Amino acid sequence: MKKSIFMAALLMSLVFILAACGGGNASDPSEESTEDSNGEATEGSEASADAEGSASGSVTGDGSSTVAPILELINEDFNAEYPDVQVSIGVSGTGGGFEKFVAGETDFQNASREIKEEEISALEEAGIDFTEFKVANDGLTVAVNTENDFVDYLTFEELQTIYSGEAETWNDVRDEFPEEEITAYAPDQSHGTHDFFKEAVMEDGDITAELNQDTNVISQSVTSDANSIGFFGYNFYMVNQDNLKGVPVQGPDNEEPVEVKEETVMSYDYPLARPLFVYAKNESVENNESFMQFMEFTLNNASSAAEEAGYVALTEEEMQEQKDKLEDFK
Amino acid sequence: MELINKNEIGKKLSGRLLLNKSMKYIFLLCTLVGLVVLATLLIDTIIDGWSYLTTDFFTNFSSSRPENAGIKGALIGTLWLMATTAPIAIILSVGTALYLEEYAPKNKITDFIKINISNLAGVPSVVFGLLGLTLFVRMAGLGNSVLAAALTMSLMILPVIVVASQEAIRSVPSSIREASIGMGATKWQTITRVILPASLPGIITGIILSLSRAIGETAPLVVIGIPTILLFTPTGVFDTFSALPMQIFSWVKMPNPEFQSITAAAILVLLFILFLMNSVAIYIRNKYSKRF
């Protein structure tokens, strides 16, 4: 008899605990979730309510780890100018970030590749309109060890032989190369860089190489392994220029090999140059004043931030085009 | 006739002694492998990161410029996360343990629940992250807030605390339990005044050890999508935040080599907190363990 009373007491206390948790949820405006909370910058109820009162706001973004350093620099300067706006940026990778963008959880999405067809249709289905902004250029850099004195340039076909796993020695790549075994390194599938290389060079064939999630490991491996080859973003090449040898690349549209450097990336003569994107949710641009300020600040400072982060700025005309796109919202 | 054939023993003795001695060194080697690796890692990290442990490092937010990078956001975020995780995890798991040990009828269903709780302890943390993402971040609409992460972490460490608490409660001698009942105490009185105080050291040790697991856990936070680039600290449990392991995870991937040293400094801070928590656990265990 007594036992059951205590059971009831325990149950009651559990109910209280659950009620407390439930109360927490109820006070959250995003309970009615996906459709309604889109206008809200963050799900945080109290904070954003307070924030709205003091004419400040919050901005959330997520996405590529390649683009993140640029946005981090921009955010630092933005914060100095607009200290009341709370900006939070996640680094879930391009693919992971798009998932959140589709779920309506973020105002903007950093991407190291163009949005995919299926992501566009997912966004349409979710009723989210977006605008694509280019913020910088990256030159995917192919690099070999500094001791490697025979590789003067590589064509797309040669890169394909190496990264398809077809070539076992450098001699299999080109006849004048020595009979030395090749070790190829590449970023793994979580990187937009991997996808970009696969599409641009491999014609969508699989990359057979030592894949790594940490790009630092790739640059270090190429630095220490005499017969290795690897590729990564231009920023990793910029900080490791003394320890690595960048290889000029000849694409199908090039008459001769092109060296990776600021001018060739900016002009897209370099065949592995690619734009870096920020995708903005239209609704947030229109309704969230802080986000509009943030985007304006981003485009105004993207070029200097890109260079500081080790990337290449857009040409002035191109940057003006991006600014015009934002101007259209006003 | 001699009872002991010394000759015979002498023949076998040297072999046995040798075996004895060699086993001793083999086991010593086993111990050393772990210790040496750990010491190398620790010394390497200290050499790398020590000079970066300045006051600025603690008062600055994260930055892409290595000279400005600090852990203020991540450290305060981690403290928020722990302060929110602890009460949720403690209430839920001690409650579970008390129910299972004191109230639950001894039948197959209870056994089934107990087995499953033990199994839960072995589920990879990334799975808890996925659970948290679906349940708390998306369905409950908590976003990547402190509360969503704390609930996820609580679920993750719950089984460990439950098992530790169950052990502690079970180890309370039935004599004092019976004595309490015999004195006319109700079951609730017995639990709050006799069983809980007696089993508290074991429970607290379990709690602290699982919290120190939670503090270094990265996978669930990655899955939930905790941001690493933010220049503010949370003011409530519904705010978003960053955490030390996430900060370490994102710094280690930065191209600038100086960030490797900054990462080392952040690792030292995390290790120090871990060390502190484990010391408290050991202190409590030693202080209260000689009750019976």
Check if the beta carbon of residue B117 is closer than 8 Å to that of residue B96.
yes
Instruction: Tell me, yes or no, whether B88 and B156 share the same domain.
Output: yes
CB contact under 8 A, A60 and B65: no
CA distance B212 to chain A (A): 24
Closest of A180, A173, A184, A181 to residue A209, by C-alpha = A184
In chain A the first and final C-alpha atoms are separated, in Å, by: 72
Count of domains for chain B: 2
Tell me the residues of chain A between 186 and 205 that have a Cβ less than 8 Å away from chain B.
none
The CATH number of the domain where B114 resides is what?
A: 1.10.3720.10
B221 alpha carbon, distance to own chain's centre: 16
**Residue owning tokens 């990264």:** A163
In SS3 terms, A279-295 reads as EEEHHHHHHCHHHHHHH
Does B211 map to a domain? yes
Contacts of A50 in chain B (CB under 8 A): 235
CA distance A60 to chain B (A): 9
CB contact under 8 A, B231 and A100: no
> Which of A40-54, A166-180, A269-283 shows the lowest mean pLDDT across its residues?
A40-54
Does B24 map to a domain? yes
Which H/E stretch holds residue A59? Answer: strand A58-63
Extract the tokens encoding B283. Answer: 């202190």
Amino acid A42: pLDDT:
39
Q: What is the dihedral of CA A240, A241, A247, A250, to 10 degrees?
A: 100
Instruction: Tell me, yes or no, whether B33 and B174 share the same domain.
Output: no
Q: B106 or A29, which is more confident?
A: B106
Q: Can you tell me the distance from the alpha carbon of B127 to that of B223, in angstroms, rounded to the nearest whole number? A: 9
Interface test mutation site (partner A, options B91, B192, B233, B239, max chain A beta carbons within 10 A)? B239
Instruction: Tell me, yes or no, whether B156 and B70 share the same domain.
Output: yes
Q: Is the pLDDT of residue A52 over 80?
A: no
Tell me the residues of chain A between 278 and 317 that have a Cβ less than 8 Å away from chain B.
308-310
B182 alpha carbon, distance to own chain's centre: 38
Check if the beta carbon of residue B90 is closer than 8 Å to that of residue B207.
yes
Amino acid A95: pLDDT:
85
Report the residue from B62, B239, B252 with minimal CB separation from A44: B239
CB contact under 8 A, B227 and A215: no
Extract the tokens encoding A283. Answer: 């609704």
Q: Can you tell me the distance from the alpha carbon of A266 to that of A315, in angstroms, rounded to the nearest whole number? A: 7
For A215-272, the DSSP string reads HHHHHHHHHH-TTEEEEE-HHHHHHTTTTEEEPPEE-TT-SS-B--SHHHHHTT-STT
Q: Is B21 exposed, middle or buried (0-12, 13-18, 19+ CB in 10 A)?
A: exposed
Check if the beta carbon of residue A251 is closer than 8 Å to that of residue A139.
no
Report the residue from A33, A62, A219 with minimal CB separation from B141: A33
Question: What is the C-alpha R_g of chain B?
Answer: 25
**Residue A139's pLDDT band (cuts 50, 70, 90):** very high
Q: Is the pLDDT of residue A305 over 90?
A: yes
Instruction: Tell me, yes or no, whether B22 and B135 share the same domain.
Output: no
Does B224 map to a domain? yes
CB contact under 8 A, B187 and A75: no
Instruction: Tell me, yes or no, whether B77 and B158 share the same domain.
Output: yes
**Residue A28's pLDDT band (cuts 50, 70, 90):** very low
**Residue A43's pLDDT band (cuts 50, 70, 90):** very low
Domains of chain A: 58-137+275-327 (3.40.190.10), 141-271 (3.40.190.10)
Cβ partners under 8 Å of residue B153, min gap 6: B81, B85, B89, B128, B214, B217, B220
Determine contact: B225 vs chain A, CB below 8 A: yes
Q: Is the pLDDT of residue A286 over 70?
A: yes
Q: Can you tell me the distance from the alpha carbon of A234 to that of A214, in angstroms, rounded to the nearest whole number? A: 15
**Residue A130's pLDDT band (cuts 50, 70, 90):** very high
- How many CB atoms lie under 10 A from the CB of residue A100? 21
- Does the CA dihedral B226-B232-B235-B238 come out positive or negative? negative
Amino acid A53: pLDDT:
36
Amino acid B135: pLDDT:
92
What is the SS3 assignment for A11?
Answer: helix
For A135-195, the DSSP string reads EEEEEPEEEEETT--S---EEHHHHHHHHTT--SBHHHH-TTS-S-B-EEEEE-TTSHHHH
Q: Is the pLDDT of residue A16 over 60?
A: no
Instruction: Tell me, yes or no, whether B42 and B129 share the same domain.
Output: no
Q: Can you tell me the distance from the alpha carbon of B129 to that of B136, in angstroms, rounded to the nearest whole number? A: 10
Q: Is the pLDDT of residue A12 over 80?
A: no
Tens-level pLDDT at each residue, chain B (292 residues) = 667 777 877 888 888 889 999 999 999 999 999 999 999 999 999 998 999 898 889 988 988 888 888 999 999 999 999 999 999 999 999 999 999 998 988 889 999 998 999 898 889 999 999 999 999 998 988 888 999 999 999 999 999 999 999 999 999 998 998 999 999 999 999 999 999 988 988 899 899 889 988 998 989 998 888 898 888 888 888 988 999 999 998 888 888 888 999 999 999 999 999 999 889 888 888 887 666 5
Its domain, for residue B13, covers 6-52
Determine contact: A75 vs chain B, CB below 8 A: yes
Closest of A298, A288, A290, A286 to residue A322, by C-alpha = A298
Instruction: Tell me, yes or no, whether B150 and B201 share the same domain.
Output: yes
In chain B the first and final C-alpha atoms are separated, in Å, by: 53
Q: Which residues pair with A249 in a beta bridge?
A: A154, A258
Does B1 map to a domain? no
Does B209 map to a domain? yes
Amino acid A27: pLDDT:
36
Interface test mutation site (partner B, options A59, A74, A76, max chain B beta carbons within 10 A)? A76
Determine contact: A45 vs chain B, CB below 8 A: yes
Tell me the residues of chain A between 87 and 106 that have a Cβ less than 8 Å away from chain B.
87-92, 96, 100, 103, 105
Q: Can you tell me the distance from the alpha carbon of A157 to that of A204, in angstroms, rounded to the nearest whole number? A: 13
Contacts of B196 in chain A (CB under 8 A): none
Amino acid B291: pLDDT:
60
Q: In which order are the strands placed within the sheet that holds A58-63?
A: A130-139, A273-281, A108-111, A58-63, A86-89, B229-230
> Which of A47-61, A119-133, A230-244, B36-50 shows the lowest mean pLDDT across its residues?
A47-61
Check if the beta carbon of residue B209 is closer than 8 Å to that of residue B278.
yes
**Residue A56's pLDDT band (cuts 50, 70, 90):** low
Q: Residue A93: left if φ>0, alpha if ψ -120 to 50, beta else—which one?
A: left
In SS3 terms, chain B reads as CCCCCHHHHHHHHHHHHHHHHHHHHHHHHHHHHHHHHHHHHHHHHHHHHHHHCCHHHHHCCCCCCHHHCCCHHHHHHHHHHHHHHHHHHHHHHHHHHHHHHHHCCCCHHHHHHHHHHHHHCCCCHHHHHHHHHHHHHHHCCCCCEHHHHHHHHHHHHHHHHHHHHHHHHHCCCHHHHHHHHHCCCCHHHHHHHHHHHHHHHHHHHHHHHHHHHHHCCCHHHHHHCCCCEECCCCCCCCCECCCHHHHHHHHCCCCCCHHHHHHHHHHHHHHHHHHHHHHHHHHHHHHHCCCC
Instruction: Tell me, yes or no, whether B150 and B242 share the same domain.
Output: yes
Instruction: Tell me, yes or no, whether B116 and B223 share the same domain.
Output: yes
Instruction: Tell me, yes or no, whether B75 and B11 share the same domain.
Output: no
Amino acid B64: pLDDT:
85
Does B182 map to a domain? yes
Q: In which order are the strands placed within the sheet that holds A210-212?
A: A210-212, A183-187, A228-232, A141-145, A244-246
CB contact under 8 A, A6 and B255: no
Closest of B114, B284, B257, B73 to residue A87, by C-alpha = B73
Determine contact: A241 vs chain B, CB below 8 A: no
Extract the tokens encoding B16. Answer: 């046995």
In SS3 terms, A126-147 reads as HCCCEEEEEEEEEECEEEEECC
Amino acid B6: pLDDT:
79
Instruction: Tell me, yes or no, whether B119 and B261 share the same domain.
Output: yes
Instruction: Tell me, yes or no, whether B87 and B120 share the same domain.
Output: yes
Contacts of A10 in chain B (CB under 8 A): 95, 98-99, 103
CA distance B99 to chain A (A): 8
Tell me the per-residue pLDDT of A176-225, one tens digit each, with 9 for 90 and over: 899 989 999 999 887 888 888 999 999 888 999 999 888 889 999 999 99
